[in-house]
Structure 1
Amino acid sequence: MGRTSKDKRDVYYRLAKENGWRARSAFKLLQLDKEFQLFQGVTRAVDLCAAPGSWSQVLSQKIGGQGSGHVVAVDLQAMAPLPGVVQIQGDITQLSTAKEIIQHFKGCPADLVVCDGAPDVTGLHDVDEYMQAQLLLAALNIATHVLKPGGCFVAKIFRGRDVTLLYSQLRVFFSSVLCAKPRSSRNSSIEAFAVCQGYDPPEGFIPDLSKPLLDHSYDPDFNQLDGPTRIIVPFVTCGDLSSYDSDRSYPLDLEDGSKYKYTPPTQPPISPPYQEACTLKKKGQLAKEIRPQDCPISRVDTLPQPLVAPQRHSLLAPEMEDNEMSCSP
């Protein structure tokens, strides 16, 4: 019953399994490409924070089909293999990861760098927006090492109070920066995607992962972001009203009248955080009820103890106790 209700409430989740995508986020990249032609002329692409691999799937099919396409996927977590995709299990904040990417491209820079990574949200919007901004800057920092001039960079952002400062930082390195909201992204979500085209680093900029992207060690002619510099970035919605609405529930009845059949995930997680709980559940040890006979503590000890009243001394107390004992059966 739970599977059916989950399929019913999210049409893109259901379509992803039916079309063989590892996650519903594949439609986000497909819709971004339809709007901005991201894959046009791209032969080398990098997918940062790639697991579980839905964006790498899209890249391998769109770029790998051109004959000379090459895709490198980077993530801290292990990911199931994909045809035409080279996987690197590494940290995007380390210079060694950037060098390994370039080695797979035989010294050539990448045409496209994408990042769909996001931190584990806490529900505290200010904290979540800050963590997402830092993750985006880490992805941008490694993109400055591997992206060719004129290349494209696409990354997830959380639209918050200070997002315009992030746009300002991106505009320093790219000639065009837009904020895009794919149709498959829920309207209730604050996520969007920064589509940065025309990579053009300022003169004198030297990529360095050990330093922030913007500080006062660079030429002051282009480092003008003292304080919350504000710029207006166009906001684009990808898709039209003919597309599925990600916030709407659709019936499971198919158009041809056939009965709906549940489709399992294309690629289950390799090492999910709930793996230990699944193992305990199979063994019947998850939330196991503790029976009184299994507990070494006696039942008397487990009963709530009443407050001890002050003892009242009386000369008749011993005699009363003897009478009570003699009357007991």
Structure 2
Amino acid sequence: MGKTSKDKRDIYYRRAKEEGWRARSAFKLLQIDNECHVLDGVNKAVDLCAAPGSWSQVLSRKLNENYKKALETGNATPPKIVAVDLQAMAPLEGVIQIQGDITNVNTAKQIISHFDNEQVDLVVCDGAPDVTGLHDMDIYIQSQLLLAALNITTHILKQGGTFVAKIFRAKDVTLLYAQLKIFFPYVYCTKPSSSRNSSIEAFVVCKDYSPPEDYKPHMLNPLLTHEPCDFDELTGINRVVVPFIVCGDLNEPDSDTCYPLNFEGKEYTYHEPVQTPIAPPYQEALTLLENRDTDFRRSDVNVVVDNLNSMTIADLKKQAKQKHKEITKSEISKLQNSKNDDSEDILELDQLMFTELFDESDNMM
């Protein structure tokens, strides 16, 4: 979570720090749950691409709330949550962390081992690639990441389970919907209010996991065959229209609007990020900066002094005239005694131009 002025005007950014969430993306899962009830009855959950951990925080709070309510009515089993990411993540109470690759079958086995070799009720994935600005490339990489999450989900999700993942909506998104419909009879495309309208991101909510008969989970990626696909030839389950759902109350703040710091009569108080990055990419640059003699983060004293002593045009002219008068007589005599007639002509012309220049400038003032 950064500290730019745009971030400060982002209402969800401010609320995330006030309410103790590690990132504003926590509100996306909360709004998806309010609309689609993906956390109801969930006791075992896996968070893929979890860093920095905001969705794991939501899972921890919600599942523990469900556990306390279940205890009031009878016996209940404590919830268990596993978070997976390639990057290291700061510890979270009640969340088991695995630093691993979701495209590796050993990671799936490691996840299952934490649940006593039982499959889970819910798998969520808020992962996204480091965008390059090349939209076609970013969308393709995101689709690969989604399929990687789906592949590992088929190893760890139980029958009837739920899968939630980020998706980039584009012209070829129908193929992804069709592939998801093979495993889930109910597939929805959701757009939380906390997700900016300017972003092409959305979230697929897939319920009631029902893999095809005799299906064996594997880590193969069907989009890596590099075979062209004619979408007009898709029929039946391969060609579907996925419902689109907007999550969040219409009275909630707009994620694309910049709100004043003092919002709804509440005086703004700055809050530090809930969890600062463990190993930020800019750490090496800061280290190099600290080892230098000059601190570029501070103003240059010489520049400040020069700005304070800035001169007017009249003062600049006076200074130029004074410097002209300070030419030594010896230098003038050398030029005057020169035997080269051209030198004398050049000297006289130079003096004439200099005199006329200042005379003309004085008349303009």
TM interval, short-chain normalised? 0.7 to 0.9
Structure 2 residue aligned with 1:111: 121
Matching residue within 233, 239, 245 for 1:236: 245
Deviation at 1:256, TM superposition (A): 4.1
Matches within 5 A, 1:137-216: 137-209=147-219, 211-213=220-222
Asked whether the 8 Å contact 1:141–1:213 carries over to 2, the reply is no
Structure 2 residue aligned with 1:44: 44
Matches within 5 A, 1:27-106: 27-65=27-65, 66=67, 68-106=78-116
Higher share of residues assigned helix: 2
How far apart in 2 are the matches of 1:156 and 1:286? 42
- 1:105-164 C-alpha deviation (Å, 9 max, x unpaired): 001101000000000101111101000000000000000000001000000000011001
Deviation at 1:215, TM superposition (A): 10
How far apart in 2 are the matches of 1:173 and 1:148? 12
How far apart in 2 are the matches of 1:286 and 1:131? 40
Asked whether the 8 Å contact 1:64–1:70 carries over to 2, the reply is no
Asked whether the 8 Å contact 1:74–1:89 carries over to 2, the reply is yes
- 1:263-313 C-alpha deviation (Å, 9 max, x unpaired): 11000000111111122233347879xxxxxxxxxxxxxxxxxxxxxxxxx
Deviation at 1:248, TM superposition (A): 0.3
Structure 2 residue aligned with 1:282: 290
Deviation at 1:260, TM superposition (A): 1.8
RMSD: 2.3
Percent same amino acid among aligned pairs?
64
Structure 2 residue aligned with 1:247: 256
Number of positions where the alignment pairs a residue of Structure 1 with one of Structure 2: 279
- 1:168-197 C-alpha deviation (Å, 9 max, x unpaired): 000000010010000000000000001000
Give the residue type in structure 1 aligned to 2:255: S
SS at match of 1:144: helix
Matching residue within 263, 266, 287 for 2:271: 263
Deviation at 1:69, TM superposition (A): 0.7
- 1:38-88 C-alpha deviation (Å, 9 max, x unpaired): 111100000000000000000011113316111000000000000110000
Asked whether the 8 Å contact 2:123–2:162 carries over to 1, the reply is yes
How far apart in 2 are the matches of 1:186 and 1:214? 28
TM-score by length of 1: 0.80
Give the residue type in structure 1 aligned to 2:254: D
Stretches of structure 2 lacking an aligned partner (at least 5 in a row) = 68-76, 298-365
Asked whether the 8 Å contact 1:167–1:233 carries over to 2, the reply is yes
Structure 1 residue aligned with 2:10: 10
Give the residue type in structure 2 aligned to 1:6: K
Deviation at 1:92, TM superposition (A): 0.2
Asked whether the 8 Å contact 1:149–1:200 carries over to 2, the reply is yes
